[in-house]
Each structure stands twice: as C-alpha cells, then as structure tokens.
Structure 1
Amino acid sequence: MRLHRNLVFAVVDALHYIFNEGEYADKVVEKVLKYDKRWGARDRGFIAETTYDMVRWKRLYTEIAEVKAPYTRPNLFRLFAVWAVLKGIKLPDWKQIEPTPERRIKGRFDELSKIRKFNESIPDWMDELGAKALGEDLWTKEIHALNQQADVILRVNTLKSTKENVKAALLEAGIETEVIRGYPDALQLKERANVFVTDAFQNGWFEVQDASSQLVAPFLDVQPGQRVVDTCAGAGGKTLHLAAQMQNKGQLIAMDIYDNKLKELKRRAKRNGAHNVETRTIDSTKVIKKLHGSADRVLIDAPCTGLGVLRRNPDAKWKLQPEFLEKIMVTQQQILQDYSKIVKPGGKMVYATCSILPQENIKQVNKFLSSEAGQDFKLTAQKNIYASKSGFDGFYMALLEKAPSA
C-alpha cells in the first residue's frame, strides 16, 4: 500500500480532534471526509478505517510510541508510524515522519501483547471492573470480541418490503448481503459499503441496526392494536422495529427527554411508512403521570455505559469515567421506578441496556423487584448477549410481567 500525504494528514487531523479536543469519533470522521470532494470511496474508506483503528488501539500505540497527552502533531505522526509498521506498510520519506525504529516497535508490541490492558487497549479501571464483574475468563474473551470491527447489519422494514426484495435491490446496486440464522429481519453486508445512498434505503426498505439490537422488539411480544410505549426512544431504531411488529395497528408512543432525537425519529418514521408512531417529549413528570396504568407494553431501553457496543464506538473507552457508572445506575433505577407505572395490570415491560455489566442489568432488575414499585411485577425471561458468543453487540434484556388486577 502506498500512503498518500493528504489522506495521512486527514487522519492526523482527525486524531487531534478526538484525542486532544475530546470530540466524538463519528462526528470527526464525518467532518474530515468533507475536506476534499475529489476523494473516492477507497480514499474515504482509508481515512475512516485508519482513524477508527488508531482510536481503538490508542493505549497500545501510545505505549509503544512513548507519547503522552496532550498529543503534539509530531506525536500524532509517531503514532501513525507505529500503526503503519504494525500493519506492514512501508513508511514514506516525509519530514513529518522521523526515522522509525521498526525492530523496537515490533519488540515492544510482542512484550505488551502479553498484558491484557495493553493488548486490548483499555484503561486500568475498565480492565479491573470487567474482570470483577464477569470473571477473568469471560472478560478476556468479551473485551477481545468488543475490539473487533463491527459488521454492517441491516433490519428489513417489513412494513414496506421483504428480505428477498431488499437483498435483490442491494445486489443490483452492487452490494452483496447474506441472511443471519436466528435473526428473521436481518441481512449482513459481505463487504462494507455506503448503503445510505441506495434507492432501497431512501424508500424506507431497511434500517441499519445491529443484530443484537434487533432482538429487543420481538422480546416485548407486541401485538397489532395494542398501546405500546417506548420510553427512552432516542432516534427510534427500536421504535421503528416495534411499529413493523405491530403492523402499523394500534398506538405506539415514542418518548424521550431530547426533543431533537424525536424530530429525527419523526423523519425516519415517515420514510419507514410507520404511521402509528406518536412522539412525546418528557419535559415534566406530568407526561409520564398521564400514561399511568394505560399501556399493554412498555419498553425501557435505558441509558447505560454502552460497554456492549464498543465495537462501533471505540472512543467510548477513553471518554467513559468510572464515576459515570455510579451516576448512570442511579438514573437507571429511577427510570425503572417511574416508567414501570405506565404498565397496566396484565401488561408486560422490557428493561434493556447495551451493557454487559450485571450491575446495570440483572442487579437493577432485582433491586426494582424488591422495591414497592416492583411488587406487582415478576421476571419471566432474560437474555445476556455477549459479543464473544454471538459475534454481535453485547446486550441485556429482561421481560417483566405485571400481575392482572384482582
């Protein structure tokens, strides 16, 4: 592979924004890709994938390069040199790239690869937390799986199309997909491609949604004609799946504290042909109180550490702080206490997170069940999904049923 100066400089710029300015990797990549309109798919792919790769392995590379934050531009070029050497890419003779001791880099890599926190490139606190929560063996496998690049998975929108039609339409656009056993609406891309420019996407035939995330809506067991409330809907990935499962029949209320996310959901719902979705911003406790005891089904896709989705958000490893876990656990329990009141007698509720930590998952459910608000509920099923076992994102979901009224 021959390295092109403008592409390498774009990667170095991106790393500066992410590591020094604390910006989010996905937004930075989006910004940097706008530098030059003449860049083709391969150029853009190099910038995006190299940036994500270096963010993912930041700790390992900085340790080998012997550089510390804040990273100067020469330091960032040193990191790039480490990345290139370990990938077997010949370094160009540019003044920005100083003579690179290749043997030393490889030797240091062999040495550090024996230590998990360097080999998997994670902060000390996260390594300790994971090992304590899941046990050494499972944590070792899990963090390794969470460091692999995530595949692109689509969810076919059954309100508008079928798996066969989406598969055929994408093939016509030069994009090959394959079905995934056990995931009825999922298609996996054989190679990464920009699916958002296809007619099939523009026409609302599919959404991009990880396979694990696609298990949540069916777990809630919704039926056409019911009143369903998605309490932490965000931009609505799971809301749209619920709408399809309800066949557009009944009432689907999507709620969130962020109005801008619900605006995005409305736009997506329109493209998806999901007509039974109604959005409500949670701007006071009244919004929840009005719904008390009225819903057949309630989904709580709770805010969490996101440790199960590190494959697609590698910069979260560096943004997360140990105190955030304590804070988010208080929020999760509060949400369970408050939003569970929406479920009517005989109704069902799913509590889900994209975390793999028991303290955000089963421990929260048990704490809720032993509280006054949870006394009428019972846990009827739960799923712990690990990336190391499924090959997809880490997730948790618990199905709780409320006793019918006497």
Structure 2
Amino acid sequence: MRFLRVAAIAAGGLLVVTQLSPAQASGGPSYRWNLTPTGSTAQFRGLSAVSKDIAWVGGSQGQVLRTLDGGRRWQNVSPPGAEALQFRDVHAFDAKRAVILSIGTGTDSRVYRTADGGKSWTETFRNADPNAFYDCLAFNDDRNGLALSDPVDGKFRIAATADGGRSWKVQSNAGMPAALPGEFAFAASGTCLVAGRGRTAWFATGGGDRPRVFRTSDGGRRWSVTDSPMASGAAAGIFSLTFRNSLFGVAVGGDFEKPTEAVKAASVTYDGGRSWKLVPAGKAPKGYRSGSTFVPWSPFTVIAVGPSGSDVSQDGGRSWKQFYDGSFDSVECGGHGIRAGCWASGAKGAVARLEVGR
C-alpha cells in the first residue's frame, strides 16, 4: 500500500495509556496491555512474538529492536545505514534469527536477515522493479516463506524463499488471478499475508470495489481467490488475517479514514478462506482494526488492535468486546505453554505485553 495514515493518542509528546475496566470485557478472563519502555519514537508496525520473553519489532527510521526479558530492556539492533527505510514486517525464528522487510516502491522494498541477534545483517533481497511495492512476508517453517507485492502488470507478485530468507526468487505470475482495478494490500501490520502448515498461505486485499482473500496450497505457485463481504473502497478492505488452522480463520479491517467506526470490520471463515461470513456491526470490533492474532492458550480467543482500541473475541471472531482504548498497529502471539505470550506495537515507540487476569 502506497499511503497509510494512523491516529495516535498523544499529549505533550507522550503516549497516553488509558484502560477500560475488566467488567467491559466480562464473560471470561480480563485483558490489559502492559507498556514496556523502548526509548524510541519510531512507529512499530513490524512485530514478531517468539515467546512471553522474546519479541522483535521493526518500524520507521530504519529501527529494529529486540527484547529477551519480557520488555524490561530493549536492544537497538537496527541494520546500519537503514535510517531512511520503514520496516513494516518482522519474522523472528528465535532470539538470534530474524528476517525483516522494508516497504516502498522500487529499491525501498528490501529484505534483511540476521543469524546473530542483530549484531550483523545481510541484505538478501532488493526489489529492482519500480512498479513493485512489497507489503508483507510470512513463513511456513524455518525454511519456506513468501513475500507479497502489490500488483505489477495487473497481478499481485510473490517472491519466495526456501532457505530461511537467505535468498529470494520472484515467482511466475501464471497461477495468480488478475487484480481488480485499484486493488492492493495494506502494509499496516505485517499480517496482510499469513502462512499455515505445509505450503499453505493466504493474503488479503482492499482498495477495489470489494476486498478479496487469495489462497495457495503449493507455496505460492497457484492461487485461488474469494470475494469478501467486508468494507470496500480506496481506504477500506481487509488489513489483517489470522488462522488457527487450515480451515478456521478471522479477517479484520474496515476503513482507516473512519478509525472509530466498525464499517464491516470483521469476518470469519470455516473452510480455509473459500467463503467468509460477515460479523454484524453490533458484534464487530468498535472501529477499524489493522492487526489480529489468535492466542496460544485458547482455541477460540482472538485479539484485534487498531488506532482506536483493542478488542477480544472469545468465540472465534463471531463477537468482540473492547478492553483497551489506546492505539496499536500490530499484535502477535508466540511460544507454547508457560512460555507463550502476546505483544502489541504502534506509534511513538509503543510496545506492550498482554496480561491476562482470571
């Protein structure tokens, strides 16, 4: 996506944190965000949660940060000479290995990789096509991953890696359906493209006369596409996808020019993205949402974030309750068992870890 505005809550140059009462998210556990001190003023749309202790963020000013202790301390591990880049997506395999994507037209779209916790970075992909604009990347496993570009010559473009991001190859577009006029993907939170088990992946769009979800089961060589009932328009569509498994998924979005309005802002699928059911306005998130994730400890709990708040669904995305009214752009969970944790990130260096009360 070429342009994305964001609303932030600010006073005197500082982020103001406001919290709704647990009763407003009643009917289950209570949720709250615990902000961590990053010392940064960057906007972090790239986020990768490895566990409750380890997380990576990437953002404006070419910044990449890493924590190993649950956010008590953040290390600046930014690639040198990248100050003009915007890192909109991060995929961390563990505390040492990570891949980051910078967005923009032409050579601003790049991929870097580290294997030593950010002490050194290798540029492994630089887009040479002035018409391409890479938005998101996702990995099925430690080796296989995809990166998504807005349409070039009438079709979305895919670059693929089979060696953990060390090298990338732009794929043939023969198996890609044609794009709609004005259609593109939103580089809002690194979740316009998500990957599942095996070689399955999905990406979501907006900007056209209807949002759509594309699906592949062969690592990006062939794609099918399905229309979505969510909001459509130049500033509207699906901004984020999250899947529990190969069949059960949730999409969130809306219209980013109407951040406090739930304009057809969520939908669910039970057949792997082949069809989508719209969440009614009264049960949808309270406004436009740019990021979403399933939590590891509950099969039906989903969290969505956006500039006007955070919402939780405890029934697989069919109904939502707001539990926070501050601004975040991205949300992701990682880890298993007692090491599982969820993180959110956004403007003015904001990064927070989720706390769950019983």
| TM-score, normalised relative to structure 2 | 0.31
Flag the structure with higher helix content.
Answer: 1
The structure whose RCO (Cα within 8 Å, separation 6+) is larger is 2
Q: Whose strand proportion is higher, 1 or 2?
A: 2
